[in-house]
């Protein structure tokens, strides 16, 4: 491709609306343009990257025995009503109707459509397992679309659905997909980690998120420095140290603690360690007021709490609610003497000895409070946030944290959709059974954006070779020097013959403009053809990732480039 | 692929709703399934065909200097309001709104979106020409979707848009696309014809439709037996024989013609040739009543008439209207004595001598009517239907007719959209100019369906090799005979190694079922491994297209297959 003909309008300025690096660089490199909020055009360079990612996905899906098909984007409401999601999906489901007034939605995901299809066609256990995937546009009518391709309203996903006879079959499908995802992101040249993720449906290790590691990632990952444990912070398990405390329970007493609004205030005032304090937090879980207890130096993980409470809405209770239920203000709440209120506690709470907690009385706390003796806990769960530096729940070694961008998720669905959509088969004994399903997604645009979040510098994008829009750009320093232009074009043409994806920057631009664009677009290799080197029969090759520059003899440049691309 | 794992549920019965062959066979071969009216799932076999067609399209587009991108499917209403099409497109534009109440539509075509994009990015003549394409879902909310993939509401199109400096540039883009389309349909293995098509915007040879020839095609094509002339019947030009008639005008007389309702009745009653009669037809063109004259043996081409009248609606006038304007009933209408009514005539009418026409009086006609003497024609146009057997308007040789399925159209847009969307560039003199545009579409699903309309028999589909879902199916006659199964699987594995796309029908089914499915799905070649031939070290190879069967030595089967696929 000649740069003079390439539709890649680069920008020098950072667009004001672009908050994160991938959004900024995709805009600046002329790779995406906004058509409406959360709705983007993939320009030719970005589309080349997208196609490469899609090709890698297809190859790995096919190798894992999956078959590609193409389901509709426009879904009839009836299917979503059958699964019950038409009612519960909320405003993010982008609904529309046809000229006859019939209801439809733009598919955000395809469990309904594919389960209805497979349920209607598959009759026998002999036809299972079945693994079907597609790559297409998905829709989510976000209230506030942002971060470019990271949170759009129209986005491209690969979604795969597995249909198995039983849970053992699902385990095998899941294992195959775990490996396929591993291969895909490895082949994309990305640093990533699969982490255990939330799966309300089945629980346990029934879902993994694949996270591309990047400082700017929206998700925090907790992982072990020693073993394989890794989980999204939202659901990371914690280690429970059950070593008995060598301390006799003391007598409970009330102390005056003026201006002690926080745990740190309190610990400082009483000269105790925050570990000795007991925090009591008031939540409104749907219609229920709940008192949540946790050690004062810990944080509540509201995702884990919400999952355990199995509620739809979970919010901190308002001051009026606290007054009404406990007769006191926030900051001095405690469990002692509380009646007719649900009390749930983190697993560390029962192990406390002589703790300090709120007295349910303004400016007062209680000392030497002992669970069991002074108050009763009905429910004890792991509801605290895991933090870097703690012990690994699996091996007790040190946990670390990192940030990442979620680019894929694999998920055991079980029989949730086969039940609601009636997807059954006849087993070996002629008995009707529900198909056991899994679903497996990859955000294609997200993967491209995550690759940029992970691989960039102040000058622009640094594409991994396998997904770079082109491999090499050939830049003559001056477009007015015919020998430079001729030498550059010859190298370009020779590269094309060898199957190297090359761009010839033949534009009538100053060299600075061409170099800046080359760095911004992020070609892995740049060949510069300048007067001085050319006079010595050489060209300059710059490695984008390292900035390293080498002078290479003209006759060796093709093999040099081929070696570097391997 | 092993047939036991392939998601291709075949049907023995013809689905009641499927009116045309391609719809029937796509359903029966398990290649498509309906999700909603006009909304289909492409099953794995169909999707393989679609991907092959898309790959061919991509290769030819890229070779013609086009760049692929991906525009949004969801379009903001503002862009369509700017072009004016939001108002005029009607109910076929599938509209929706987002959670904030903003208007959008699902793109049926992308002139607005791409012209807005290119207009915003391209500044200089140096950046032109630009040729951009995409392959994606399109939407048309048809009142009555039917014929399977032929007239759906969600369908896959390749659409290309060219942006040139001037009309000469557009001509070059158009020429490149004409050639690319020729290559694409040739490589798809289809019999087709490019025909001149209607182009209200520019007129002349500014649009061609590419028609796949098939008896069941919805469109009639008129083409010359000798020269290159070919046009959709809707706009086919006619030859005008201007040879003077050697006949003196006679005296006009009124004759009683009872029960002569048709031209044939009249000609038979008066013992004259239908060529001597003059038909007068009453039309309502928007608000205007128009009398249309044509030779009695000819048919009016309402598309050509409507284009010439430049009206939005054109309908035959109702009896009351004819009574009101002419004071007579339909069947006896004529131009003589008519006042204050617009009269338009086909070009043959002024050449008539001593014609017979209606007398505007029930059961009476006029004889020896002569245009010019007996009535005046204001407008004379080519408005008649061209028919097979007539002389070619280009070379006077015999015209033939054929039926076809439109699979692509190329179209010179000129500055229609660059004007409304403001797509300008600066020319060599720094002067602002409108970009000159063309648009070029291919219906991908339509191409697949048209291939079936053209290539099938009573047993099923006969795929051209280049777009067949697989090349070869290997069928062991009995799945219980281990030597047959082993020999078949070995051939299958060897074919895969050679890169031949093969299916191994390993299902536990009767041979009849497997043979019927092979014919229905339409694999170009079938290798049958049966006991008798195998005992002689042979297998049977059946050519789907011809039905020809050959016995091939086992050691030669791979090279035989490779030769046949060339």
Crossing angle for the helix pair A482-497 and A557-565, to the nearest 10 degrees: 50
ipTM: 0.88
Condensed to tens digits (0 to 9), the pLDDT of residues B371-387 reads 999 999 989 999 999 99
**% pLDDT > 90, chain B:** 90
Are the Cβ atoms of B74 and A98 closer than 8 angstroms? no
Q: Can you list the pairs that A506-513 forms with residues at least 24 positions away whose Cβ atoms lie under 8 Å?
A: A506/A2, A506/A3, A506/A4, A506/A476, A506/A479, A507/A3, A507/A4, A507/A479, A508/A4, A508/A479, A508/B126, A509/A479, A511/A475, A511/A477, A511/A478
Asked if residue A203 has pLDDT above 60, the reply is: no
What pLDDT was estimated at residue A488? 97
Residue contact B137–A132, C-beta within 8 A: no
A207-213 and A399-414 beta bridge pairing: antiparallel
CA geometry: angle A206, A209, A212, nearest 5 deg: 160
Rounded to an integer, what is the distance from CA A161 to the centroid of its chain?
19
Predicted confidence (pLDDT) at residue A202 exceeds the cutoff of 80: no
Chain B partners within 8 Å of A40 (Cβ): 72
Instruction: Using the predicted structure, report yes or no on whether residue B260 has a pLDDT greater than 90.
Output: no
Residue of B nearest to A5 (CA): B127
pLDDT, tens digit, 9 for 90 and up, residues A444-485: 999 999 999 999 999 999 999 999 999 999 999 999 999 999
What percentage of chain A reaches a pLDDT higher than 70? 99
Q: Domains in chain B, please, with CATH?
A: 21-212+405-452 (3.30.930.10), 253-381 (3.90.960.10), 470-565 (3.40.50.800)
> Residue B4: which of A119, A179, A133, A65 has the closest Cα?
A65
- The per-residue pLDDT for range B320-362, each reduced to its tens digit, is 999 999 988 888 999 999 999 999 999 999 999 999 999 999 9
Which residues lie below 8 Å from residue A40, measured CB to CB, with a gap of 6+?
Answer: A32, A33, A34, A148, A149, A152, A154, A445, B72
Q: Is the pLDDT of residue B198 over 90?
A: no
Q: Which residues of B touch A50 (CB under 8 A)?
A: 70
pLDDT mean over A95-124 = 97
Chain B nearest-CA residue for A37: B76
Computed over every residue of chain A, the mean pLDDT equals 95
Unique residue bearing structure tokens 């036991």: B4
Closest by CA position to B7, among listed A132, A182, A425, A497: A132
Q: Which residue has the higher pLDDT, A428 or A219?
A: A428
Most A-contacting residue of B2, B28, B39, B169 (CB-CB within 10 A), to test interface: B39
Answer whether B523's CB lies under 8 Å from B543's CB. no
| A332-352 pLDDT, tens digit each | 999 999 999 999 999 999 999
pLDDT average, residue stretch B156-173: 97
> Using 50, 70 and 90 to split pLDDT, how confident is the model at A200?
low
Q: Is the pLDDT of residue A235 over 70?
A: yes
CB contact under 8 A, A67 and B7: yes
Tokens of B219: 């469109």
- pLDDT at residue B90 in the model: 86
Q: Say what the pLDDT of residue B313 is.
A: 86
Both structure tokens of B243: 């040879």
Residue recorded with tokens 């291939």 = B451
A62 → chain B, closest CA residue: B1
Q: Tell me how far apart the alpha carbons of residues B174 and B440 are, in angstroms, rounded to a whole number.
A: 9
% of chain B residues with pLDDT over 70: 99
Six-digit token string for A156: 């491209």
How remote is the C-alpha of A503 from its chain's centroid?
33
Asked if B71 and A41 come within 8 Å (Cβ–Cβ), the reply is: yes
If you count them, how many residues does chain B have? 566
| CB-CB neighbors (< 8 A) of A165 in chain B | none
Q: Which of A1, A2, A4, A7 to mutate to test the interface with B (most CBs of B within 10 A)?
A: A7
pLDDT tens, residue by residue, B85-121 = 998 888 999 999 999 999 999 999 999 999 999 999 9
**pLDDT 10s digits, B208-248:** 999 999 998 888 999 999 998 999 888 899 999 999 888 99
Residue the block writes with tokens 């050697």: B246
A70: distance to nearest CA of chain B, Å? 5
Give the tens place of pLDDT for each residue, A142-163: 999 989 999 999 999 999 999 9
As beta bridge partners, residue A224 has: A399
Q: Kindly give the pairing relationship between strand B399-414 and strand B436-443.
A: antiparallel
Which residues touch B84 (CB under 8 Å, ≥6 apart)? Answer: B420
For chain A, give the percent of residues with pLDDT over 90.
90
Q: How many Cβ atoms from other residues are within 10 Å of residue A398's Cβ?
A: 13
Q: Which two tokens stand for residue B472?
A: 């070869």
Q: Name the band, by pLDDT with cuts 50, 70 and 90, for residue A406.
A: very high
Which of B44, B70, B154, B160 to substitute to test the interface with A, most A CBs within 10 Å?
A: B70
pLDDT tens, position by position, A256-306:
999 888 899 999 999 999 999 999 999 999 999 999 999 999 999 998 999
* Count of alpha carbons within 13 angstroms of residue B390, beta-carbon side: 22
* Sign of the alpha-carbon dihedral angle for B205, B209, B212, B213: negative
CA distance B509 to chain A (A): 12
Nearest to B423 by CA among B56, B115, B35: B115
The contacts of residue A139 (CB under 8 Å, 6+ apart) are A73, A94, A105, A106, A107, A108, A153, A154, B74
Which of B7, B48, B71 is opposite residue A132, by nearest beta carbon? B7
Closest CA to A404 of A245, A553, A193: A193
Evaluated on CA atoms B461, B462, B465, B471, the torsion sign reads positive
Read off the pLDDT of each residue in A504-509 and give the average, rounded to a whole number.
96
- Determine the residue of chain A that is closest to B122 in CA distance: A9
C-alpha to C-alpha distance for A91 and A322, rounded to whole angstroms: 32
Pull the structure tokens for residue A275: 């570990």
Tokens matching residue B93: 């534009």
Q: B69 vs A39: CB contact, 8 Å cut-off? A: no
Token pair recorded at residue A254 = 């009330």
At A530, give phi and psi (nearest 5°): -120, 165
From its phi and psi, is residue B130 left (phi > 0), alpha (psi between -120 and 50) or beta?
beta
The pLDDT score that the predictor gives to residue A133 is 98
Say yes or no to pLDDT of A116 above 60.
yes
Q: How far apart are the CA of A526 and the nearest CA of chain B, in angstroms?
A: 22
Please tell me whether residue A302 adopts helix, strand or coil conformation: helix
The Cα A530–Cα A478 span in angstroms is: 7
User: Given an 8 Å threshold on Cβ–Cβ distance, is A36 in contact with B104?
Assistant: yes
Average pLDDT over residues B501-506: 98
Predicted local distance difference test score (pLDDT) of residue A205 = 58
A14-23, B193-202, B466-475, B541-550: the lowest-pLDDT one: B193-202
Cβ neighbours, 10 Å, residue A273: 10
Judged against a pLDDT cut of 90, whether residue B204 lies above it is answered with no
Angle in degrees, CA B220, B224, B228, rounded to 5: 105
**Nearest-neighbour CA in chain A from B360: distance (Å):** 44
Chain A residues lying within 8 Å of B43, measured CB to CB = 69
Q: Does residue A419 register a pLDDT over 60? A: yes
- What is the rounded distance in angstroms from the CA atom of residue A336 to the CA atom of residue B357? 109
Size of interface A-B (CB pairs under 8 A): 144
* Interchain pair B153, A98: CB under 8 A: yes
Chain mean pLDDT for chain B = 95
Min CA distance, B85 vs chain A (Å)?
Answer: 17
Coil, helix or strand at residue A512: helix
Shortest CB distance from B47 goes to which of A68, A118, A121?
A: A68
d(CA A207, CA A303) in angstroms, rounded, equals: 15
Does A508 sit within 8 Å of B126, measured CB to CB? yes
């Amino acid at each position: 491709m000649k740069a003079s003909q390439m539709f890649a309008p680069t920008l020098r300025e950072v667009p004001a609306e672009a908050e994160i690096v991938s959004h900024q660089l995709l805009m600046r490199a002329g790779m995406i343009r906004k058509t409406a909020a959360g709705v983007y055009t993939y320009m030719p360079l970005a589309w080349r990257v997208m196609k490469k990612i899609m090709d890698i996905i297809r190859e790995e899906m096919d190798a894992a025995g999956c078959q590609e098909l193409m389901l509709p984007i426009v879904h009839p409401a009836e299917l979503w009503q059958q699964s019950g999601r038409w009612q519960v999906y909320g405003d993010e489901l982008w609904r529309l109707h046809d000229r006859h007034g019939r209801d439809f939605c733009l598919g955000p995901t395809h469990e309904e459509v594919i389960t209805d299809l497979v349920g209607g066609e598959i009759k026998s256990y002999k036809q299972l397992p079945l693994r079907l995937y597609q790559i297409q546009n998905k829709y989510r009518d976000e209230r506030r679309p942002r971060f470019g391709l990271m949170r759009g309203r129209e986005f491209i996903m690969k979604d795969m659905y597995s249909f198995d006879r039983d849970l053992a079959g699902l385990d095998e499908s899941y294992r195959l997909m775990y490996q396929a995802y591993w291969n895909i992101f490895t082949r994309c040249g990305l640093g990533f980690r699969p982490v255990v993720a939330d799966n309300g449906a089945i629980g346990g290790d029934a879902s993994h998120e694949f996270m591309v590691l990047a400082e700017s990632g929206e998700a925090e990952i907790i992982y072990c420095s020693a073993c394989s444990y890794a989980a999204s912070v939202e659901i990371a398990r914690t280690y429970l140290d059950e070593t008995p405390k060598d301390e006799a329970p003391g007598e409970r007493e009330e102390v005056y603690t003026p201006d002690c609004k926080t745990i740190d205030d309190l610990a400082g005032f009483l000269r105790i360690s925050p570990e000795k304090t007991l925090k009591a937090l008031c939540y409104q879980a749907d219609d229920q007021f709940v008192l949540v207890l946790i050690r004062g130096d810990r944080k509540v993980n509201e995702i884990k709490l919400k999952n355990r409470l199995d509620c739809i809405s979970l919010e901190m209770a308002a001051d009026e609610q606290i007054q009404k239920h406990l007769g006191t203000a926030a900051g001095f709440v405690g469990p002692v003497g509380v009646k007719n209120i649900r009390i749930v506690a983190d697993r560390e709470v029962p192990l406390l000895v002589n703790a300090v907690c709120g007295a349910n009385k303004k400016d007062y706390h209680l000392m030497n409070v002992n669970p069991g003796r002074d108050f009763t806990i009905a429910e004890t769960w792991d509801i605290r946030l895991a933090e870097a530096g703690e012990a690994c729940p699996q091996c007790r070694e040190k946990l670390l944290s990192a940030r990442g961008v979620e680019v894929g998720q694999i998920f055991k669905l079980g029989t949730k959709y086969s039940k609601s959509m009636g997807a059954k088969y006849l087993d070996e004994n002629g008995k009707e059974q529900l198909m056991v399903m899994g679903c497996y997604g990859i955000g294609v645009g997200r993967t491209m954006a995550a690759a940029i979040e992970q691989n960039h510098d102040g000058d622009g994008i640094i594409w991994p070779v396998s997904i770079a829009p082109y491999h090499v750009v050939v830049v003559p320093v001056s477009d007015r020097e015919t020998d430079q232009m001729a030498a550059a074009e010859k190298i370009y043409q020779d590269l094309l013959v060898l199957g190297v994806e090359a761009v010839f920057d033949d534009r009538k631009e100053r060299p600075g403009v061409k170099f800046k664009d080359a760095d911004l677009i992020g070609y892995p290799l740049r060949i510069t053809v300048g007067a001085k080197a050319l006079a010595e029969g050489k060209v300059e090759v710059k490695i984008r990732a390292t900035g390293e520059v080498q002078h290479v003899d003209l006759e060796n440049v093709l093999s040099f480039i081929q070696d570097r691309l391997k």
